[in-house]
Structures are given as C-alpha cells and as structure tokens.
Amino acid sequence: MSPLLKVEKRARKTNMNRIINMLPFSINKIKTATAFVTIAILVCFFMQSCKRNVGDPVDLKQEYFPVDIGNWIIYDVVDIRHDINHDTLNYQIKEIITADFFDNSGRLAQRVERYVRDSEAEPWQFGDVWHSIRTSRTAEKVEEDERFVKLIFPVTEFKYWDGNAYNQRVSWEYYFDSIDYAGTVGSIVYDSLAYVMQRENSNFVEYEQAFEVYAKNIGLVEKQLIDLDVRSGMIILDSIVKGTELYQTAIDYGSN
C-alpha cells in the first residue's frame, strides 16, 4: 500500500473515532434541549391557565339570595293543621330586611322583620324577627332560633347539602333540582328561578315533601312544607292522622 493511501486510511479512522466519541455529548445536548422545550411549553400552558382563571371568575349566583337593606316581599300563606280537627288558616306575611349586624361568629348578617295580617284590608301587625346570613359559600336563615342552610354557592344543578347542618333536627339532604329557568309562581312571571328540593319521603305511615323556589334579585318566592302522619300511605283527608301543610307564595315585592 502506498504511503498516501495509508495516510488517508488513518485520517478516516481518526474522524470516525471523533464522531463516536462525540455521540454521547450530542445525545445529551438533544435530551437537554428537549427537556427545556417541554418545560417551556408547560410554563406557557400554566400561565395561560392562570390568565383564564383570573379573567373568568366563577359566577356564584348569589343574586338568588339578596341581602340589600329595604328589600321586602309579601306572601299569601295557607297554613293547614291536622289533628282531631283539620283547621285551615289563610293570612299574609311581609318580610323586610331592615338592618345589618354582626352575628356571634363575627359574620355580617341581616335583620329580617316579619309582619302578619289576615287580609289585605287589615293593617300589618309586627310578628317576629328572623336573621339571614350570606357568605361566599352559603345562604343561611335563622327562623325562630333555628338555623337552616337555604342555598350553597355557587348555585349548580344537582348539588347536594345538609339543610339542617346547624340545628338539632334530623339531617335533610337539599339539592338544586333546576336552576336559571323562567317560570310563573302564583301570578308573577320570573325570568330566572332556582328550585331547591328539600325533602321527599313517603311510606305507609308518613308523608313528607318540602321545597323552596328562589328568584334572582328577589329571594324566596315559593315555599311548600308537608309533614303528615298517615294511614296505609293514603294522602287523603280521612287517612291523615296529624301533621301540617304550609303553602307560601310571593304576591308582591320591592325595595324601600
């Protein structure tokens, strides 16, 4: 072999060794670059997600439980008492939010004054005082010293909670049956309602059904509470042993 060919062969072998020696370094550079690209993509995705979260806050729909001072609602009420006799009372209730205060837990609450009359022809008579509390998570009402969790936020269809979580009554599982729907309650048409199912229970000896309906920027517009002891599961007058039925429907509302 000529000296020139030997030199060329030696040069090719040297170049090949250099390439082989550089392969791990090149591979590491590729891995490092890929890792940096992956991290950069993840950071960008996270930053975009944060921007979306900041720009699109969750709508709690707290308008279903307004707490503005001066708001008032008038209800027609049918109150039926079953015992030895079956007595039906018809009257009206007016609820008005009159003041803010801080409750025993330091939370902002509202004083709700309630007035009663037998008919529109008679003057209002002071009845009692209830309280309402609206936080970022719940809407609560203290009715005759019993606290009920009326709503939870955000208002979402089929969300469940214990309405009696803060009183001594047996647990009742409330849930949003329907939300944000238009409908008529009594003689008033509302553009946005939320239906809260509170109780559905029936067997051979008892019948319980309770629900409330709330309207945006107004509050409670309908309430039904039926709690009966019955015979043979029959919901007819002769089969009712004892119990109560309450039907409450808003007929007017406004703000002073």
Query: For 22-50, what is each residue's pLDDT tens digit?
Result: 444 444 544 544 545 455 454 445 455 44
Cα separation, 228 vs 201, in Å, equals 10
Query: What pLDDT sits at residue 54?
Result: 52
Q: Are residues 49 and 96 in the same domain?
A: no
Q: Are residues 1 and 116 in the same domain?
A: no
DSSP letter at 13 equals H
Q: Are residues 174 and 156 in the same domain?
A: yes
Query: What pLDDT sits at residue 43?
Result: 45
Amino acid at site 120: E
Residue 223 sits in a domain of what CATH number? 2.40.360
Cα separation, 161 vs 3, in Å, equals 93
Q: Are residues 211 and 251 in the same domain?
A: yes
User: By residue range, what is the domain housing residue 20?
Assistant: 1-57
Q: Please identify, among 12, 41, 57, the residue that sits at the C-terminal boundary of a domain.
A: 57
User: Angle at Cα 205 formed by Cα 244 and Cα 176, nearest 5°?
Assistant: 60
Q: Are residues 20 and 102 in the same domain?
A: no
Q: Please identify, among 57, 86, 104, the residue that sits at the C-terminal boundary of a domain.
A: 57
Which residues, given as ranges, of the chain have pLDDT below 50? 2-9, 11, 16, 19-20, 22-27, 29-30, 32-33, 35, 37, 40, 42-44, 46, 49-53
Q: Are residues 53 and 92 in the same domain?
A: no
Q: Are residues 38 and 131 in the same domain?
A: no
Query: What pLDDT sits at residue 245?
Result: 94
Query: What pLDDT sits at residue 63?
Result: 98
Q: Are residues 145 and 227 in the same domain?
A: yes
Query: What pLDDT sits at residue 48?
Result: 56
Q: Please identify, among 21, 40, 57, the residue that sits at the C-terminal boundary of a domain.
A: 57
Say if residue 182 is exposed, middle or buried (CB neighbours under 10 Å; 0-12, 13-18, 19+): exposed
Cα separation, 45 vs 134, in Å, equals 36
Query: What pLDDT sits at residue 169?
Result: 95
Cα separation, 52 vs 20, in Å, equals 49
Where are the strands (E) in the chain, listed by range?
A: 71-82, 86-102, 108-117, 125-134, 138-143, 146-152, 160-162, 173-185, 188-202, 206-215, 219-230, 240-255
Query: What pLDDT sits at residue 55?
Result: 57
Cα separation, 41 vs 45, in Å, equals 6
User: Angle at Cα 178 formed by Cα 172 and Cα 180, nearest 5°?
Assistant: 130
The number of distinct structural domains making up the chain is: 2
Q: Are residues 206 and 143 in the same domain?
A: yes
Query: What pLDDT sits at residue 92?
Result: 98
Output the CA torsion 72→195→66→171 (10° steps). Answer: 100
Q: Are residues 103 and 33 in the same domain?
A: no
Give yes or no for a contact between 176 and 212, defined as CB atoms under 8 angstroms apart: no
